[in-house]
Chain A
Amino acid sequence: MRSEVVVTGDGAIAAIGRSVEACMESLYAGRAPVPRADSLPTTLAVPPPVFAVAGEIEIASRRPLNRTSRLALHALREAMDRGWGGRLPVDASRVGVCMGTTVGSAFNDEDWYAAFRRGRDPGIDSLTLFLGNELSEVVAESVGADGPRATVVNACASGTDAVGIAASWVAEGLCDVAIAGGADALARYPYLGFSVLMNCSKEPCRPFDKNRKGLNLGEGAAMLLLERGDDARRRGARVLGRVAGYGSCADAHHPTAPHPDGRGLRAAIREALDGAGIDRAQIGFVNAHGTGTNENDRVEGRVFSDTFPPELRVFSTKAYTGHTLGAAGALEAIFTLRNLADGRVPASAGFETPDPECRIVPTRATTPVDVRAALSTSLAFGGSNSALIFTKGSAA
């Protein structure tokens, strides 16, 4: 990063909680919700369970909103209230918006399509709802932001990339502040897709465990407010932490499986370390992608084992939230920042038995940490690998 970029606001919603505080409280208490198999309609004989956000998500909006957008605006409201007192701190033209999503970018109304296939006239309401919910537009419009905007669709790494790209915009002066994050609602499309790929576990997921059987999907949203450190201090803003480094590299290997040696992930971590200007030994813990799939966890564990000192603490929060796809990277970025600030990391829920193939043993309990820097990683379909390094913030 060319100049210091800090986080001055955050907001989150997931199955584990409807605010950052609620999420962190559950994480530290080790309270992983039990995923349910009846949240999505399906005729699968044994439906894999998922992590749904309980209750309605009420958002006042002139624009009809789909569930992904409502999740996003719920998290945004929390972030805006906490960080910017509910209003933009600079001229609207200097506010960037960079969002990550997967489900939110595709038209997935099966009932509509089934009617269309049968030659019926299903009407345009569903299409106009889809066209009116491009995520970066929805977020920008809701706060009146008028600077650069982008919606990242790098599959499961989208949220991580959105934070990294927005931080780069702020560092390079494309905008003065940015709203970065990700959102995705549960949907049958990825649910059935991951199921036919045999990636879904029929039980609660167990990242890095020897007996892991796959992932559980989830839904959620997370938003981070970014600005330059000098500007934040001048405003007297509370600094939650710094986005110190970002890296992203392709495996160039396979549409769905990670490179067996983690080639792209290693390169992404190296780029993030170089950008942060810190040594690998200074990374105190890693919030891993840790989906609970056989290949992801094996590759990630090996890369961490090869790259960092053995005392490194590693955990995954997927057994608390499920895999929230385009939201995951942003959600885990917030958890990482809060862990740094709070001086503790959660237990890697679902983990019991070490897997020699993974070469790491994740945290078994909430653990105190006194470190300056931490890493959050994402691996995605298409061989995308992304890494964010955060460092501790300080009071204004």
Chain B
Amino acid sequence: MTPDDLNSPDDVELRLRLSRLPRHNAPSRLMTKLRHEFVSPPWWQSWRTAFSWKPAGAFAAAVLVAALWLTYQKREKPKTIDFAPLLAAHMRTQSQTLVPDSDMTAADFSYQLASYEN
């Protein structure tokens, strides 16, 4: 068939009749098979099919948030020593002086120790 044949009055009529016919989609499995055999997909599509991006993305976001939080915590709270045991040690010493402290039964010390231990 030549281009001249396609422009013949019979062919024009045939094309018109064909175009008026109802259209149907080809079965998707057939199309996938045809694409797989005759068309090579672009690289991003092959990656998209290889990975499950949703869980991977969620995991990456969680790691990022955790890293940021840890960095923030480290910067906001420098390593320090709790004051309570030092105060208890001071009160212990204060209760053991030659002249009895004005707190004669070392109530401060045991009170502090109770709050520290609890």
Q: Do A and B come from one complex?
A: no
Residues of B at under 8 Å CB distance from A? none
